[in-house]
Structure 1
């Protein structure tokens, strides 16, 4: 009750439209709005995830997003009356102070929560996409501040009034471990390391003056087509109600529970800071359990875009590859490519989170949002 009172009292409005003047985002491909696309241009990388039909239903048909259209962060920005959050990596002639004053996104597709050296030393694993980690994104943020807000006092005010979205991140780390053939028992020891990396970032942002942070958990891994295709033969216990892999969903729940425990501890140390847990798992499972109820007539597990197979997932022909193809009606699918969701699914997840009961404390008690289903 005390926490909710603090949240309500801290809400303010800018131009009568938004509780926050800006959104600062960190994470991986679930939130990346173009950073990986820019990195690919810089380093001349050919990544199927950045190729058509990714982004086919986005406003400018860009391929900087891992979906057919908008992501959770896009719907959050729209609901707060803010512009879509631009990527940090951009053309040099853009004025940061103007472009980023209402938000900046440091999330990178394929980014890890752990520094690349951790999995390299422990398992000999090298991230096939990027060496950008959560720590690197935080450093980018620090480096960008002088060009956004100038002096220390102005920057602290900017940070204190912004909404921080710290994640989702960690799924890339788990992808690398599981797709390399590690069992659940072999991956579990990495969970505290990943959660501690997220917690460390949160603590550092609070020291810099952050007052409101939304921290998402990970998705139900056992319901993602990539895991069902890659791990299904080894993990034969499926949930009869959903078709998801039970062991992997229990693993995701364990990770999310540990993260929530750590967030409670942060709240106790910083009672005047708004720490909001975003239950991406629960908000997604509500749709996955009853896809037909929400108009997903092609179900929750089979991907719209892919290279064939039971779940339309082929690790050698990912969405965007020449041998892959996309469905004609993405809005009838929950899964876009076996890892990410379609725009229609992301919109419902965002609505569950920011208008519903899948944030703790509820985001709507802090700031009223409206994600209209009619604006598809």
Structure 2
């Protein structure tokens, strides 16, 4: 470990206890808007607007119809919006009936940090990488200023944010899982590890770009335990000793996720010293999701690798809402009887019940660095 890394970590630890004490004295933030960037974990309908909308039973629990979310109901970003008292975020790519008065969502299912070199039609990789999402935000911000200041029509102004509110907005980011998944598909374990610094470097570049465009409050999720997703565990047959961890997750896939998270956290510490007007909170989603999987039954859920909607196994994948063949029989991937007791909605994404549990686990800041509640994340850390 180099001297700079040791120095930054020591300073961070020395400020941690003071931050916990100081937070109680901080006033709640008044966020006029939230701008979200990410992949399907926080996509509220972007990829559905760009390509094919999801079919039933998607959205059945809360919205009672498909609404572009990869779940039976609300996502973590929806529960964050509820916690902050703002409406659910409209996707930037959805032009029909959308209001952006309190923010916009640039996340799209299948999005990556790196520029994609695969097709959405082939592997479900979004063409809207984090770099493109930033460009879309830039266009959104610039055009908002024009329409609000020049057009001055009541209907337009009612649906768009106030230009002066961008600097006070909360910027949430949840992305990286698909970069790791792409590496698992295409690279050796050593190649995957070697690719992470470049991925983090690109991530950091886009955070700097947002800062240059006036973003000041960042709430950054690390990536979850990808080796615990049922889509990974159900493909395992007669594993070698040590291939799975104590809770049945694919160990080397989680190791890649943890390396990504460690490098991201270190990068966030560096950015705090560079972006001196920014408040940057690093949120440990990995710990929240892994805790849920490890203690599923204690939290009121069934087996952590049960899939509510879809069939996945050795040699077949029938995605939620589709028909397919399993062992010679045609099946329809419908919803399970009670999604509220299942962690995984479709083998990759979480159910509304799981998303709600995870959101409650993170909004108070107990899994954040610094330990800052989302309601007070606008206050700059020393």
Q: Which runs of 5+ in 1 are unaligned?
A: 14-18, 369-376
Correspondent of 1:241 among 227, 242, 246: 246
Contact 1:299 1:332 in 2 (8 A): no
Correspondent of 1:210 among 208, 212, 215: 215
Q: Does 1:23 align with 2:24?
A: no
Q: Does 1:177 align with 2:204?
A: no
CA distance in 1, matches of 2:162, 2:204: 22
Correspondent of 2:94 among 90, 94, 102: 90
1:276-291 equivalent positions in 2, closer than 5 A: 276-291=281-296
Residue aligning to 1:371? none
Encode CA deviations 1:32-54: one digit per residue, 9 max, x unaligned: 001111111xxxx4x7xx22112
What is the number of residues matched between the two proteins? 340
Contact 2:33 2:166 in 1 (8 A): no
CA distance in 2, matches of 1:302, 1:80: 32
Correspondent of 1:132 among 128, 141, 144: 128
Correspondent of 2:356 among 339, 342, 347: 347
Residue aligning to 1:104? 104
Contact 1:237 1:245 in 2 (8 A): no
TM-aligned CA deviation for residue 3 of structure 1: 6.1
TM-aligned CA deviation for residue 233 of structure 1: 6.3
RMSD: 2.8
CA distance in 2, matches of 1:331, 1:342: 7
Q: Which runs of 5+ in 2 are unaligned?
A: 1-14, 150-160, 324-331, 378-382
Q: Does 1:158 align with 2:162?
A: no
State TM-score, norm by structure 2: 0.80
CA distance in 2, matches of 1:155, 1:189: 43
Q: Does 1:74 align with 2:85?
A: no
Larger Rg: 2
CA distance in 1, matches of 2:342, 2:333: 16
Correspondent of 2:43 among 2, 8, 32: 32
Contact 1:166 1:202 in 2 (8 A): no
CA distance in 2, matches of 1:141, 1:126: 27
Residue aligning to 2:10? none
State TM-score, norm by structure 1: 0.82
Q: Which moved more, 1:1-10 or 1:27-36?
A: 1-10
Q: Residue 8 and residue 160 in structure 1: after superposition, are their counterparts in 2 closer, same or farther (change >3 A)?
A: farther
